[in-house]
Structure 1
Amino acid sequence: MSVANWCVLAACALPILTVGMAKASAGMKSPRKGGYDNHNPRQWLGQLTGWQQRAVAAQANGFEALPLFIAAVLMAQQAHADQSSIDHLAIGFVVARVVYVAMYLLDIAVVRSLVWALGFGLCVAIMALAG
């Protein structure tokens, strides 16, 4: 498997890990005391505030970013573009997404938006490799 393909897997796992932080922050509390409610997860997530609420939003954006990234990697590989270039850009995308999540959790909105644009640009650059 190429580095870029591993990056696709990492990008797919990142949203799950992101919201997992919000769920884990509830600790071992019972749902009645504010702990994670696996019987009503959407309702529980909707009641979060602060960084936990931003983690849920970052998760949603992570899932939204996946189709473009996956398509870009597949297009470039299918076109037999230089795999090393695809790999480097894919690593850049995953790093950008990790930074994006951190900026979201820390509520640094302007930097977060700039990093989002960088990630989008990296996807376009991978697609451009397809010719």
Structure 2
Amino acid sequence: MTIAYACVLFMGLFPYVAAGIAKKGFENYDNSMPRQWLAQQTGFRARANAAQANLFESLPLFFAAVIIASINNAPQARVDLLALGFVVARIAYLVCYIANWPTTRSIVWLIGIACVVSIFLQI
């Protein structure tokens, strides 16, 4: 398994970390209606839930970039490095979202997208 493929696996599971943070402590959590419960949350729980949604939204483009780069025999070392850059940016993104640092969050979001676009440019 290449580093980039390991990053794909990690990122496929990472949004569930945000979901776990959103539900941390399960204060009055209603498992029969989890989306309604999450919609009523505020503070870090609401931000973690929003981060979860954005993490899921970013996956298709990242997955496509890694797969297409692999199919086209892009330089693996560069693809691996850029995939790691994306993972680090998305971890920082979650931290920034939960900590309520919107400007820094936007900067690391942009870094993550730049990594994905750069993977495409390796083709």
Q: Sort the TM-score into its range (normalised by shorter chain).
A: over 0.9
- 1:21 Cα deviation (Å)? 1.2
* 1:31-110 pair list within 5 angstroms: 34-110=27-103
CA RMSD of aligned residues (A): 0.9
- Structure 1: unaligned runs, 5 residues or longer: 27-33
Query: TM-score with structure 2 length normalisation?
Result: 0.96
Pair member with larger Rg: 1
CA distance in 2, matches of 1:113, 1:12: 21
- 1:58 Cα deviation (Å)? 0.2
CA distance in 2, matches of 1:46, 1:114: 26
* 1:114-125 pair list within 5 angstroms: 114-125=107-118
* Identity among equivalent pairs (%): 46
2:8 paired residue number: 8
SS class of match (1:8) = helix
CA distance in 1, matches of 2:114, 2:98: 22
SS class of match (2:14) = helix
- 1:84 Cα deviation (Å)? 1.1
1:21 paired residue number: 21
Counterpart residue type for residue 95 of structure 2? A
Aligned length: 123
- Structure 2: unaligned runs, 5 residues or longer: none
Counterpart residue type for residue 9 of structure 2? L
- 1:51 Cα deviation (Å)? 0.5
Counterpart residue type for residue 3 of structure 1? I
Query: TM-score with structure 1 length normalisation?
Result: 0.91
